[in-house]
């Protein structure tokens, strides 16, 4: 079964750090671009970051640029999001998503992991 | 990058058709055929319904269709069913090599 499972979320104080993980299974992880998308409670989806299949290209939303770092370990079939200098407005469910091959869409999503930034 | 513009809500009766619009600019929706649509039920992860403007992934009902004209993309759902009640989001690739989502549309099946 093709699957993405996020982990690493939790409660963190403003200014703190957290690293999210996304474990992939059921497909050749190293063949796919991967993304992070977040959703604040009761709000809409917001794109966060992407990484090329080999890790050589990354992009970030302006709101997280310089604070978040996306990376991947293809040997471990795992995607990461290192989040530093966290702010209250970063509070959200974070989803990892796979790019539908050859398209600009996300066909496989994880169940999400909740990040709460609060003192 | 500003969010794409979607109506906050739409509604329709079972069996009817509805259309959800998604308006951007020439830097995103109008400039690329990388518009996709997602369905999200409460507490669930989004599900891909339409990709690259008009294409349906395997397993998605043919009651769902997509189109685009200029800077506005549209999702049409025909033969509305109770299970279609959900939030719908559009998304587009942008000139800045990033992605942008719409604000979301809540579909109510009356």
Distance from CA of B33 to the nearest CA of A (A): 8
Q: How many of the other CB atoms lie within 10 Å of CB of A57?
A: 11
Cα B93 from Cα B45, distance rounded (Å):
20
Q: How many residues in chain B? A: 110
**pLDDT value, residue B1:** 72
From its phi and psi, is residue A47 left (phi > 0), alpha (psi between -120 and 50) or beta?
beta
Residue A3 has pLDDT above 80, yes or no: yes
Give CA–CA dist B52/B64, Å, rounded.
Answer: 14
For residue B46, the chain A residues in CB contact (below 8 A) are: 37, 45, 95, 106, 109
Q: What is the pLDDT of residues A97-106, one digit of tens each?
A: 999 888 889 9
CA distance A71 to A55: 7
pLDDT (tens digit, 9 = 90+) per residue, B21-48? 999 999 999 999 999 999 999 999 999 9
B47 lies within 8 A of chain A by CB: yes
The pLDDT tens digits along chain B (110 residues) read 789 999 999 999 999 999 999 999 999 999 999 999 999 999 999 999 999 999 999 999 999 999 999 999 999 999 999 999 999 999 999 999 999 999 999 999 99
**Mean pLDDT value of segment A19-39:** 97
pLDDT in tens, A57-97: 999 999 999 999 999 999 999 999 999 999 999 999 999 99
The residues, ordered by sequence, that sit 6+ positions from A102 with a Cβ below 8 Å of its Cβ are none
Q: How many CB pairs under 8 A join A and B?
A: 72
- To the nearest whole number, what is the mean pLDDT of chain A? 97
Q: Contact A47/B93, CB-based, under 8 Å?
A: no
Q: Which residue's structure tokens are 């992009």?
A: A59
Record: contact B36-A46, CB cut-off 8 A: no
Share of residues in chain B with pLDDT > 90 (%): 98
Q: Give the pLDDT band (50/70/90) at residue A10.
A: very high
Cβ B99–A110 below 8 Å, yes or no?
no
Sheet holding B18-23, edge to edge: B18-23, B72-77, B64-69
Number of other CB atoms surrounding residue A53 within 10 Å:
16
Give the DSSP H or E segment for A38. strand A34-39
Residue A43 has pLDDT above 90, yes or no: yes
Give the A-side interface with B, CB within 8 Å: 35, 37, 44-47, 50, 59-62, 95, 100, 103-107, 109-112
pLDDT of residue A102: 81
d(CA A116, CA A93): 9
The two tokens of residue B6 are 């979607």
Contacts of B59 in chain A (CB under 8 A): none
Chain B contact set for A37 (CB, 8 A): 46, 101
């Amino acid at each position: 079964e093709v699957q993405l499972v996020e982990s690493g979320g939790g409660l963190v104080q403003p200014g703190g750090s957290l690293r999210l993980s996304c474990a992939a299974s059921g497909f050749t992880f190293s063949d796919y671009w991967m993304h992070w998308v977040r959703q604040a409670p009761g709000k809409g989806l917001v794109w966060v970051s992407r990484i090329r299949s080999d890790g050589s290209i990354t992009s970030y939303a302006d709101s997280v640029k310089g604070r978040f770092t996306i990376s991947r370990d293809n040997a471990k079939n795992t995607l990461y999001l290192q989040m530093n200098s966290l702010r209250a407005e970063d509070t959200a469910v974070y989803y990892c998503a796979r790019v539908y091959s050859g398209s600009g869409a996300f066909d496989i999503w994880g169940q999400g992991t909740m990040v709460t930034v609060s003192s | 990058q500003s969010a794409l513009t979607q109506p906050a809500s739409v509604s329709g009766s079972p069996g009817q058709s509805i259309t959800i619009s998604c308006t951007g600019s020439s830097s995103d929706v109008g400039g690329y055929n990388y518009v996709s649509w997602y369905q999200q039920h409460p507490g669930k992860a989004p599900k891909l319904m339409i990709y690259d403007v008009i294409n349906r992934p395997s397993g998605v009902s043919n009651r769902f269709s997509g189109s685009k004209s200029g800077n506005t993309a549209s999702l049409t759902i025909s033969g509305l069913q109770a299970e279609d009640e959900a939030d719908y989001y559009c998304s587009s690739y942008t000139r800045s090599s990033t992605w942008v989502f719409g604000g979301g549309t809540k579909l109510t099946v009356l």
